Amino acid sequence: MTTIVDNLQAVHARIAAACAAAGRDPAGVRLLAVSKTFGPEDVMEAVGAGQQMFGENYIQEGVEKILMVREWEGESRSAPLPGPLSSPTEWHCIGPVQSNKTRLVAAHFDWVQSVDKLKTAQRLNDQRPDDLPPLQVCLQVNIDGGPTKSGVTPEEALALAAEVACLPRLQLRGLMSIPEAAIDFVAACAVHRRAKDLFDQINMADVLPKAMDTLSMGMTADLEAAIHSGSTMVRIGSAIFGSRSP
């Protein structure tokens, strides 16, 4: 039976092969393991294999998991592990953030990749505890206008980026997109390239105090196309943890 450790090795091999095909350095693509619906023991196994970054869609579930894993990490510093213990885990909120959940997100997550409204960003900024570093954020962009997808429109992204970048308890890192499934590699590259072009346009507009460095796009089915198009972070769930129960 394939283990999470084996799956992580296979995903890293896919990333390396995709980077080689695109003429890119694999060090320029970070792996976010999407652990939604999987238990803390699965995260712990992945941490033992060296994985550091984890993404959660459901806030309450994510917070409970974060607390359990961080407690385990503290205990693990003085106990042997089956694999190398990486630096402390980094937690990314990649799902919708309702107004009544912003305080939880601001207090427990390190990143939020799904900011698509100034109101949400302002609440996260105001509720970020003073003893924590600034919350790292990406703007979610509905790059292909998918009717079931969240995200700011490409036309509104520049103005939102300029406003979010001014909030002192947030640090704008980049863009995130979740386009509709494409029919083939060429079509997937085309839509991902639109996100990369928008990313470049915002950086070149000279409205940000610091250039964005993160373009989060690509999942299990389309990571090769995303890397070919310029992704700097791929969000992989099923290829690491297996199929999710309905």
Do 63 and 104 form a contact (C-beta atoms < 8 A)?
Answer: yes
pLDDT of residue 147: 74
Is beta strand 135-141 parallel, antiparallel or unpaired with respect to 170-177? Answer: parallel
Separation CA 113–CA 171 (nearest Å) = 11
Least confident interval from 37-51, 66-80, 103-117, 195-209: 66-80
Q: Summarize the confidence of residues 183-201 as an average pLDDT.
A: 97
Tell me, what amino acid is at 175?
Answer: L
Q: CA nearest 217: which of 184, 185, 174, 156?
A: 174
Separation CA 220–CA 223 (nearest Å) = 6
Do 141 and 175 form a contact (C-beta atoms < 8 A)?
Answer: yes
Percent above pLDDT 90 for the chain: 87
Q: Summarize the confidence of residues 165-177 as an average pLDDT.
A: 98
Give me 189's structure tokens: 């590259």
Q: Examine the pLDDT at 116 and tell me if it is beyond 90.
A: yes
Sign of CA dihedral 200, 202, 206, 210: negative
Do 218 and 200 form a contact (C-beta atoms < 8 A)?
Answer: no
Residues contacting residue 223 through CB under 8 Å, at least 6 positions apart: 11, 14, 15, 18, 231, 234, 236
Separation CA 224–CA 44 (nearest Å) = 27
Separation CA 140–CA 61 (nearest Å) = 21
- Where does the pLDDT of residue 5 fall: very low under 50, low under 70, confident under 90, or very high at 90 and above? very high
Q: Examine the pLDDT at 29 and tell me if it is beyond 50.
A: yes
Q: CA nearest 111: which of 130, 89, 126?
A: 89
Q: Summarize the confidence of residues 42-58 as an average pLDDT.
A: 95
Domains defined along the chain, listed by start: 4-17+29-239 (3.20.20.10)
Separation CA 150–CA 30 (nearest Å) = 23
pLDDT of residue 84: 45
